[in-house]
Structure 1
Amino acid sequence: MSHTTDPTASGAAVSNALAEAATEDSELLTSIVRVARSIFGAAASSVFLFDAEADELVFEAVSGEGEGFLVGTRFPADRGIAGWVITTGQAMSATELTTSQVFARDLAESTGYVPDSIMAAPIVHRMAPIGVLQVLDPHPQSRYSVADLDLLAMFANQAALSLHILLRNRAARAGLRREGAEYDTLAKIAALLADMDDEQRGRGVALIESLHGMLAGMAR
């Protein structure tokens, strides 16, 4: 007994599985920023994704100030504390933002919350920067502690794998959507052939076979 597989249905099943996995990765990132916020006694904590193609930083997870609306917001990757961290690949603790030459106050104001201090660490996967983990207005004792900055870097390491998997799943879903569009086109051609009379269908099949021969020649 032979079995046939519907490529569209298979693609949909894989896409659904990837969407579920991406949701779990987003939940893990949210858990990381919540724990970081709690440990550092911060007003807020967030994970930025570095979109290298657009040269922008994107809020992927937020806990505390702005968590209800900031996810998905984009900023230039060459500005602000987070921009400095993604550019240099170094962690940073900025305790006097009013005098900081790196801090971008206008970007902070656009989020609805302007902090007095920021701690930030790069999120790196296989030597490549893919994001930034930051906490806003941490407990005063943490702001001047090298050990606490190292601890934030450890949290960034935890976020790295989750953020990488999230990116990989998104790329896979995009690929499936492209393939799905191709399957839709083939299905429409098949439906047209089914509605034709025998003579029209014969000419249609001959045309498709000719096209197949051309494509096969291109693939060699």
Structure 2
Amino acid sequence: MSSAAEPATQSAHPVALELLQSVVDVARAIFGAQASSVFLLDEATDELVFQAVSGQGEEFLVGRRFPADRGIAGWVATSGEPMVVDRLAQNTAFDRTFAKSTQYVPDALMAVPLLHDHQTLGVLEVLDPSPQTRSSLDELELLSMFARQAATALRLVTHHRPAAVRALTADDHVTAARLLTQLQELLDVPGTP
């Protein structure tokens, strides 16, 4: 697993928490999913930590930890490769016991690594996405692009703190506005909830 410079422990910063919650809320909305989660890698303990949850489990999963080599999230974190599974019951990497302990057992999921400079920061998962959003690999590519943007922003927040946020240039603000516009257009696409 790549070094991640402790993003899980640094994510307690309010801007990072707000950013991560926004990521899971938007991912859940884009894919019409039952839930979406961000797990960050805590290298000190070799665990993945629920840092933000939208939908099923959002009331109690934040802060929960599990071994970084466990389940599909662990495989994605270790390999650095995205994964889509439509029939989780038939997938040997799926840790059904752990899923039951979260009080929600999905039938399908999409998971992508949060990577920055070849470092695994964590995993973004979307649970039980709407079938029409999983019709092609374009959706996985979209989720991967979104995860890259989230990882870059997370890295900025966790390493440079508020000074970096205040130092954003006018171009950065224009780029952020474009991203928000594109996300809104995605949410308004016919056939998505």
- Which band: TM-score by shorter chain? 0.7 to 0.9
Which residue of structure 1 aligns with residue 89 of structure 2? 98
2:119 pairs with one of 106, 128, 132: 128
Which residue of structure 2 aligns with residue 16 of structure 1? none
Q: Secondary structure at the match of 1:160?
A: helix
Give the distance between the partners of 1:30 and 1:86, measured in 2 at CA. 19
Q: For the structure 1 residues 169 and 26, does the alpha-carbon distance in structure 2 shift closer, same or farther, using more than 3 Å as the test?
A: farther
- CA deviation after TM superposition for structure 1 residue 32, in Å: 1.2
Which residue of structure 2 aligns with residue 39 of structure 1? 30
Q: Secondary structure at the match of 1:98?
A: helix
Determine if the alignment matches structure 1 residue 115 to structure 2 residue 106: yes
Which residue of structure 2 aligns with residue 75 of structure 1? 66
Q: Secondary structure at the match of 1:68?
A: coil
Q: TM-score, normalised by structure 1?
A: 0.65
Runs of at least 5 residues in structure 2 that lack an aligned partner in the other structure: 1-9, 162-193
Q: How many residues align?
A: 151
Whose radius of gyration is greater, 1 or 2?
A: 1
Residues 108 and 127, structure 2, Cα contact 8 Å, conserved in 1: yes
Residues 46 and 133, structure 1, Cα contact 8 Å, conserved in 2: yes
Instruction: Encode CA deviations 1:128-147: one digit per residue, 9 max, x unaligned.
Output: 11110010000112334200
Question: Could you say what the CA RMSD is over the residues aligned between the two structures, in angstroms?
Answer: 1.8
Give the distance between the partners of 1:84 and 1:141, measured in 2 at CA. 26
Q: 1:39 corresponds to which letter in structure 2?
A: I
Determine if the alignment matches structure 1 residue 48 to structure 2 residue 39: yes
Give the distance between the partners of 1:149 and 1:137, measured in 2 at CA. 14
Instruction: Encode CA deviations 1:9-46: one digit per residue, 9 max, x unaligned.
Output: xxxxxxxxxx9x92022111111110110010000001
% identity of equivalent residues:
57
* Residues 152-163 of structure 1 mapped to structure 2, 5 A cutoff: 152-163=143-154
Q: Secondary structure at the match of 1:135?
A: strand
Q: For the structure 1 residues 140 and 56, does the alpha-carbon distance in structure 2 shift closer, same or farther, using more than 3 Å as the test?
A: same
Q: For the structure 1 residues 144 and 106, does the alpha-carbon distance in structure 2 shift closer, same or farther, using more than 3 Å as the test?
A: farther
Instruction: Encode CA deviations 1:46-99: one digit per residue, 9 max, x unaligned.
Output: 111011221110011110001111110001111111001011100000111111
Q: 2:68 corresponds to which letter in structure 1?
A: A
Determine if the alignment matches structure 1 residue 64 to structure 2 residue 49: no
Q: 1:122 corresponds to which letter in structure 2?
A: P
Q: Which has the higher helix share?
A: 1
Q: 1:65 corresponds to which letter in structure 2?
A: Q
Give the distance between the partners of 1:131 and 1:123, measured in 2 at CA. 5
User: Which 4+ residue blocks in structure 1 deviate beyond 6 angstroms?
Assistant: none
Runs of at least 5 residues in structure 1 that lack an aligned partner in the other structure: 1-18, 171-220
Q: TM-score, normalised by structure 2?
A: 0.74
Give the distance between the partners of 1:169 and 1:46, measured in 2 at CA. 24
Give the distance between the partners of 2:154 and 2:102, measured in 1 at CA. 22
